[in-house]
């Protein structure tokens, strides 16, 4: 057969050899079928925005299988016989929305909307398999989808509404779409066609889809450099595979799809996916000889995510482990403790091997052997097995350590080991698998004896130490001490599990991850019907477009006929001189159009207009960070451009070790000029000397958090007859306009920039879009063709900076009650190789938060490092300085032995006070907010319960923290304008404003204001693009107040129009309609459009108003592993008079969860030799996911407190809620303190950020020498 066929949304697709063999289904859906609702970002199967639904006929069962797949990984030529459904296939605004699309939108579960189609399709696949799932099943099914905007709560609520105990979906809504083949009642027949052997050649490479083992053998005999294909999920982890000349799709090989279960064995073919394997295990567990497999089926939930498990085979997982010794294979451990053997075809022979033999075999060459099946024997009734995994994040994460055991006892009542036990671990070195010495020691021993256990611990420690664990140099690996302690701790848990232990030790066995229950939440805010649509909680006006996939982002826009594509040539070192860049050898590569370097820039080689410091478009003499752009390749496709950009050879000289940390910079005296004067308030030195109590300390904050927007940074520059048209993912169109004009050496007026919406930003697209806008403009300038550059996740994390890291030294004086007398700081931060991303100049307005101190001395230092220029990340730098302040307050409380909230309250600002920088506080009521939150969160009673829990549980500890916040906002930064135009035909209104919609709901709030001012339905308001013709010279969208200021501009424009309409209104008869008024005004030549500009500097105080809020969080930690579960968070937030409670609550929850990631999970890691970001993808960089949300998440907006200085009484919700995530950090600290106190260690301790599981475990001072079974 020379072609394959499959269906997409009921439409037949026939493919021959038109596309490269590496083409993915996602690429085909988006670029050939133009179904752009399906998004692509990570190309790893880790973010979930590419998810589509698949249906295929199972040849063994004869039943149709429905499941979700990552289309970014699914090979196009593997699609034969499938039926796919994309988000467009479910419904749309015109024909009607699917219930999933509607409920997600109505719950405000779609903010920027980029992730929404992936969530919709994930839920669709779940309901196709089970139309009435439980809430727990629904939450579990979302383990492969990331959302940076919402904080997940609204998504979870929307999806859990389909559970069997709420409002399950009508089965009619889940029926297949009608197929275009009218002879079939549905598309099942399309998915069930007879599959044939398939072979094509493309670009001197072969693709085979054989049906039998004999066909495979024939291919093997005549081919070399082979890649076996099944799920293709390994490409998401190990991207640089190959080169290959032959691709063999094994999906349809009948022998590999067989399952054979008898009383004495269970044989499973190598094509069986992990999801199917779970089903087989659960079915087999009904046989008492295989009852252990039920638990192992649950353990497989920890492998990847649901979309990966749906297509990845168990055999592929083992093959990855064989090829990549460092791969932490869950399957390997699970199969080994089940005593499995694998059947392998090795060139000419069929052999059976144990897992150890498989790993150690030198005869099995990569991609020259085939795993055929696995055989599981029955295990006796006196056999105990279990599996444990500890990962940096609770779901969708590779393990630090995988651990498993198999113990066989003499009888049911005995703890004497009848046979040699199996104790296996991953993560302790490439060659460590069996803990052979401890296995040998325990053979025949009584596992209940504490002395035997103690000796076992010593043997295990020594065995691990001798394995080379201290020689692991991987920067992604936690410390050897942590891994050793973790391995011994997991062994300890296993020994407790098989023995009867005391109540105090019993809780040690369970993982804090596994004890998580279904999350719940509460939201409380006011709405005033007399003001509607203002204050009305409503979904975003474009929410339905987002959940149906109809919203068009920059990369979704129709391609032009002469479209070209660019990819940046990136440096591979961080600190070196450039000797030469060799482009001649690749200029003639098929599909390459041109390559441009710094010498080709027609204007100034600088992406940043004044007053910013220079950042080159392309480095030409030296490189300052790894990933710095050196040039751009323009080609006929994105794939060709990217491939060739990596082929360009750069010759370096004078290579130096990069400066990557603040300590490196201090050592090398590498600093940028001071960003601002030192802050001196009062006489700090004298205050410190006179203080009865003094402390000093330091804190490192290495949370170099990446924005992690799901839409990459994208730009298309199109030459026009009078300049250039630019579609770009930017928060600041004026900056893009100026930078492109500067680089091309032409007037700014010839540059037209427009944005409708962007898929999340969080500050990261404020200035960083200039990097690709200028590069694309250079190509467009010479070629006179449109050039599109698209940075995906890996590229974004390489090219673009992160949140700056900090190092702080402090000295503080205070009295016995904790009242602050004086505070002396040295703040060190690193904005990278350029200071452009630093907001150090603004921090004096924020750092004192809710606390009044009369004497301050602060010195700021900007370390110059070999990293990309840091970028603004939601509450940039400001967030960090709050964390520093709260650490100091905690230190004071620890020194005095007081409840930290009492010390904090002792220092609260009061009405009439002034801040350190002179900001007046006429309205502050932080004391009232904290008092109310204490009551509503039941703070003191819970503290008592926590103390009781901590006494009763040795290795599980809980902690609680209540953190206040005062966050000042300003209206005085820049210009925001709005043009409001009324259409005379029907009175409908169009508006263009100076803000950028990026998920925060700015378009909706603007529309609400217009509807309110004119007294018309909101459906009559249409929000148009932001562009620099209608919206010239506007500031960035950021700082949390853009929505308010654009609303202010819109209200100003509406007032102008109302004033014009008033004389006409006086002429109208009783009962007139709005449309009649407008038509009358038009007939009298009334100007029905108006523009209003909100100017900077219109408010007396630099900071316009404050947001007061507080959060109370309770955390549970496992002191043996460091794993953390956030049990409950209560937030009380002064939002003024919310314009839209649904949107504002969503913003607050999303901000809090982003802050949680900063506190617990997120940091960019760099290779110390090259400076490369080594965790530039979803498998190593870990933003929060749905199961990281507090199990009980409650938020309330303060009632009856409109903001007298705000727009329509409102306050911002974009950035301030991040600060409240400090409650997470200090709840974890409180739990750690309980562990330390139990060990006799009291007082303050240093906990650097992020508080990852390894830092938490080591801070608990867990000592394996104290482990005991008694």
Question: Is 874 marked within a binding site?
Answer: yes
Residue 1104 and residue 919 in contact, taking contact as beta carbons nearer than 8 Å:
no
Residue 609 and residue 770 in contact, taking contact as beta carbons nearer than 8 Å:
no
Phi and psi at residue 479, to the nearest 5°: -65, 155
Question: Is 326 marked within a binding site?
Answer: yes
Question: Is 72 marked within a binding site?
Answer: yes
How many angstroms separate the CA atoms of 1158 and 901, rounded? Answer: 22
Catalytic residue, chosen from 1062, 1215, 1238, 1266, is: 1215
How many angstroms separate the CA atoms of 1122 and 1136, rounded? Answer: 39
> Which residue in 270, 261, 269, 268 sits closest to 289, CA to CA?
261
How many angstroms separate the CA atoms of 682 and 692, rounded? Answer: 18
Question: Is 115 marked within a binding site?
Answer: yes
Question: Is 1071 marked within a binding site?
Answer: no
Strand spans (E) along 1095-1160: 1105-1118, 1124-1133
* 611 upstream amide cis, omega within 30 of 0: yes
Question: Is 112 marked within a binding site?
Answer: yes
Does residue 438 sit in helix, strand or coil?
helix
Question: Is 30 marked within a binding site?
Answer: no
Question: Is 389 marked within a binding site?
Answer: yes
239: tokens are 């991207």
Question: Is 42 marked within a binding site?
Answer: yes
Question: Is 942 marked within a binding site?
Answer: no
In terms of DSSP bridges, do strands 266-269 and 369-376 run parallel, antiparallel, or are they unpaired? antiparallel
Question: Is 715 marked within a binding site?
Answer: no
Residue 304 and residue 275 in contact, taking contact as beta carbons nearer than 8 Å:
no
Question: Is 705 marked within a binding site?
Answer: no
Question: Is 827 marked within a binding site?
Answer: no
480-497 vs 450-465: helix crossing angle, rounded to 10: 150
Question: Is 338 marked within a binding site?
Answer: no
DSSP string computed for 1120-1181: TT--EEEEEEEEEE--BS-S-HHHHHHHHHHHHHHHHHHHHT----B-TTT--BS--STTTS
Torsion of CA 351, 353, 357, 362, to 10 degrees: 20
Distances in whole angstroms, Cα of residue 263 to Cα of each of 284, 288, 295, 378:
10, 9, 19, 8
How many angstroms separate the CA atoms of 56 and 275, rounded? Answer: 14
Question: Is 731 marked within a binding site?
Answer: yes
Does residue 1148 sit in helix, strand or coil?
helix
How many angstroms separate the CA atoms of 164 and 1033, rounded? Answer: 53
Three-state SS letters, 440-505: HHHCCCECCCHHHHHHHHHHHHHHHHCCCHHHCCCCCCCCHHHHHHHHHHHHHHHHHHCCCCCHHH
> H-helix or E-strand containing 406?
strand 401-408
**What is the DSSP-derived secondary structure letter of residue 1048?**
H
CA 1030, 1034, 1038, 1040 dihedral sign is negative
> Which residue in 36, 81, 91, 288 sits closest to 189, CA to CA?
81
345: tokens are 């075809």
- Sequence-separated (6 or more) residues with CB below 8 Å from residue 1166: 475, 626, 658, 660, 867, 1172, 1173, 1174
Tokens 């275009």 sit on residue: 180
For residue 1219, count other CB atoms closer than 10 A to its CB. Answer: 29
105: tokens are 């939108």
Tokens 């840091």 sit on residue: 870
Determine whether 1215 is an active site residue.
yes
List, edge to edge, every strand of the sheet that includes 246-249.
Answer: 198-202, 205-209, 246-249, 226-229
Residue 314 and residue 277 in contact, taking contact as beta carbons nearer than 8 Å:
yes
**What is the DSSP-derived secondary structure letter of residue 411?**
S
**What is the DSSP-derived secondary structure letter of residue 595?**
E
> H-helix or E-strand containing 889?
helix 878-896
* 243 upstream amide cis, omega within 30 of 0: yes
> Which residue in 396, 400, 537 sits closest to 469, CA to CA?
400
Annotated binding residues for Mo-molybdopterin: 731, 762, 874, 1039
Annotated binding residues: 42, 47, 50, 72, 112, 115, 147, 149, 313-317, 326, 389, 731, 762, 874, 1039
Active site positions, annotated: 1215
Annotated binding residues for [2Fe-2S] cluster: 42, 47, 50, 72, 112, 115, 147, 149
Annotated binding residues for FAD: 313-317, 326, 389
């Amino acid at each position: 057969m020379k072609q394959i066929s499959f269906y997409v949304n009921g439409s037949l697709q026939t493919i021959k050899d038109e596309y490269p063999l590496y083409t993915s289904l996602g690429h085909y859906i988006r670029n050939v079928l133009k179904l752009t609702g399906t998004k692509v970002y990570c190309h790893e199967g880790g973010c979930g925005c590419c998810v589509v639904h698949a249906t295929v006929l199972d040849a063994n069962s004869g039943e149709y299988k429905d499941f979700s797949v990552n289309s970014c990984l699914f090979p196009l030529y593997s699609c034969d016989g499938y039926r796919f459904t994309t988000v467009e296939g479910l419904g749309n605004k015109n024909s009607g929305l699917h219930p999933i699309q509607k409920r997600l939108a109505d719950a405000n579960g779609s903010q920027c909307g980029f992730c929404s189609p992936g969530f919709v399709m994930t839920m669709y696949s779940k309901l196709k398999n089970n139309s009435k799932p439980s809430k727990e099943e629904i939450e579990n099914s979302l383990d492969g989808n990331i959302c940076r905007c919402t904080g997940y709560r609204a998504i979870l609520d929307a999806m859990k509404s389909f559970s069997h105990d709420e409002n399950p979906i009508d089965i009619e809504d889940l029926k297949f779409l009608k197929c275009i083949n009218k002879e079939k009642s549905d598309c099942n027949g399309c998915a069930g066609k007879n599959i044939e052997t398939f072979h094509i050649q493309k670009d001197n490479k072969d693709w085979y889809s054989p049906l039998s083992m004999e066909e495979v053998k024939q291919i093997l005999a005549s081919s070399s450099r082979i890649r076996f294909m099944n799920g293709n999920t390994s490409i998401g982890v190990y991207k640089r595979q190959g080169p290959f000349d032959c691709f063999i799709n094994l999906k349809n090989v009948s022998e590999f799809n067989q399952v054979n279960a008898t009383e004495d064995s269970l044989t499973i073919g190598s094509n069986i996916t992990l999801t199917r394997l779970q089903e087989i295990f659960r079915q087999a567990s009904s046989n008492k000889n295989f009852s252990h497999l039920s638990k192992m089926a649950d353990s497989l939930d920890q492998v990847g995510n649901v979309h990966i498990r749906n297509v990845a085979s168990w055999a592929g997982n083992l093959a990855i482990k064989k090829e990549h010794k460092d791969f932490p294979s869950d399957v390997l451990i699970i199969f080994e403790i089940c005593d499995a053997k694998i059947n392998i075809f090795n060139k000419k022979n069929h052999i059976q091997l144990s897992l150890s033999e498989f790993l150690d075999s030198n005869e099995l060459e990569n991609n020259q052997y085939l795993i055929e099946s696995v055989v599981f024997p029955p295990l006796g009734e006196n056999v105990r097995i279990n599996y444990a995994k500890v990962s940096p994040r609770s779901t969708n994460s590779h393990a630090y350590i995988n651990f498993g055991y198999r113990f066989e006892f003499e009888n049911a009542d005995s703890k004497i080991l009848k046979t040699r036990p199996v104790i296996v671990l991953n993560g302790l070195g490439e060659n460590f698998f069996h803990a052979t010495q401890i296995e040998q020691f325990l053979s025949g021993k009584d596992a209940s004896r504490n002395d035997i256990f103690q000796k076992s611990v010593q043997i295990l420690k020594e065995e691990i130490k001798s394995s080379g664990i201290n020689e692991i140099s991987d920067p992604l690996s936690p410390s050897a001490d942590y891994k050793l302690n973790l391995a011994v701790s997991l062994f300890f848990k296993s020994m407790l599990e098989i023995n009867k232990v005391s109540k105090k030790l019993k809780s040690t066995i369970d993982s804090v991850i596994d004890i998580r229950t279904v999350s719940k939440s509460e939201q409380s805010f006011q709405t005033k019907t007399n003001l509607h649509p203002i204050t009305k909680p409503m979904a975003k006006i474009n929410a339905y477009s987002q959940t149906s996939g109809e919203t068009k982002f920059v990369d979704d826009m129709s391609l032009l006929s002469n479209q070209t594509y660019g990819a940046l040539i990136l440096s591979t070192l961080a600190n070196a001189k450039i000797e030469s860049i060799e482009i001649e050898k690749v200029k003639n590569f098929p599909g390459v159009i041109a390559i441009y370097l710094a010498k080709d820039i027609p204007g100034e080689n600088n992406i940043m207009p004044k007053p910013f410091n220079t950042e080159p478009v392309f480095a030409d003499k030296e490189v300052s960070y790894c990933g710095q752009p050196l040039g751009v390749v323009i080609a006929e496709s994105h794939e060709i451009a990217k491939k060739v950009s990596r082929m360009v050879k750069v010759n370096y000289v004078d290579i130096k070790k990069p400066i990557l940390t603040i300590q490196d910079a201090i050592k090398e005296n590498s600093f940028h000029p001071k960003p601002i004067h030192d802050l001196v308030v009062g006489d700090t030195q004298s205050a410190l000397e006179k203080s009865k109590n003094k402390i000093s300390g330091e804190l490192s904050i290495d949370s170099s958090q990446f924005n992690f927007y799901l839409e990459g940074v994208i730009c298309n520059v199109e030459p026009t007859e009078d300049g250039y048209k630019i579609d770009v993912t930017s928060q600041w169109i004026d900056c893009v306009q100026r930078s492109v004009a500067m680089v091309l050496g032409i007037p700014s007026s010839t540059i037209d920039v427009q944005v409708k919406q962007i898929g999340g930003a969080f500050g990261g697209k404020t200035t960083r879009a200039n990097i690709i806008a200028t590069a694309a403009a250079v190509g467009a300038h010479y070629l006179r063709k449109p050039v599109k550059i698209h940075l995906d996740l890996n590229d974004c994390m390489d090219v673009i900076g992160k949140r700056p890291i900090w190092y702080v030294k402090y000295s503080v004086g205070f009295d016995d009650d904790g009242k602050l007398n004086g505070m002396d700081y040295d703040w060190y931060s690193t904005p990278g190789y350029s200071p452009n991303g630093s907001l150090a100049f603004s921090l004096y307005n924020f750092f004192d938060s809710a606390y009044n101190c009369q004497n301050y001395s602060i010195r700021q230092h900007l370390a110059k490092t070999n990293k990309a220029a840091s970028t603004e990340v939601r509450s940039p730098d400001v967030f960090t300085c709050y964390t520093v302040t709260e650490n100091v307050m905690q230190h004071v409380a620890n020194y005095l032995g007081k409840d930290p909230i009492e010390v904090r309250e002792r220092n609260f600002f009061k009405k009439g006070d002034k801040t350190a920088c002179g900001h007046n506080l006429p309205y502050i009521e932080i004391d009232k907010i904290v008092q109310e939150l204490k009551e509503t969160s039941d703070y003191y009673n819970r503290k008592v319960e926590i103390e009781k829990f901590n006494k009763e549980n040795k290795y599980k500890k809980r902690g609680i923290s209540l953190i206040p916040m005062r966050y000042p906002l300003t209206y005085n930064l820049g210009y925001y304008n709005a043009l409001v135009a009324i259409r005379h035909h029907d009175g409908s209104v169009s508006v263009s404003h100076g803000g950028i919609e990026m998920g925060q709901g700015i378009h909706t709030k603007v529309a609400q204001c217009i509807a309110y001012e004119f007294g018309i339905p909101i459906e009559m308001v249409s929000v148009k693009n932001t562009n620099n013709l209608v919206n010239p010279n506007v500031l960035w969208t950021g700082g949390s107040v853009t929505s308010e200021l654009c609303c202010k501009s819109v209200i100003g424009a509406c007032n102008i129009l109302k004033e014009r309409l008033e004389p006409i209104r006086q002429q109208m008869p009783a009962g007139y309609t709005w449309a009649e008024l407008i038509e009358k005004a038009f007939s009298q030549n009334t100007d029905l459009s108006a523009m209003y500009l909100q100017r900077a500097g219109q408010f007396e105080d630099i900071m316009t108003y404050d947001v007061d809020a507080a959060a109370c969080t309770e955390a549970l930690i496992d002191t043996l592993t460091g794993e953390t579960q956030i049990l409950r968070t209560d937030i009380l937030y002064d939002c003024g008079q919310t314009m839209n409670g649904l949107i504002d609550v969503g913003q607050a929850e999303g901000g809090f969860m982003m802050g949680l990631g900063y506190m617990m999970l997120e940091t960019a890691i760099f290779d110390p030799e090259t400076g490369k970001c080594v965790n530039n993808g979803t498998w190593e960089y870990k933003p929060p996911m749905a199961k990281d949300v507090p199990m009980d998440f409650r938020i309330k907006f303060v009632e009856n407190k409109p903001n007298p200085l705000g727009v329509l009484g409102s306050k911002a919700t974009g950035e301030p809620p991040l600060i409240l995530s400090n409650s997470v950090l200090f709840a974890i600290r409180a739990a750690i303190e309980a562990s330390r106190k139990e060990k006799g260690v009291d007082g303050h301790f240093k906990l650097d950020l992020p508080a990852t599981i390894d830092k938490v475990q080591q801070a608990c001072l867990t000592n394996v020498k104290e482990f005991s079974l008694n």
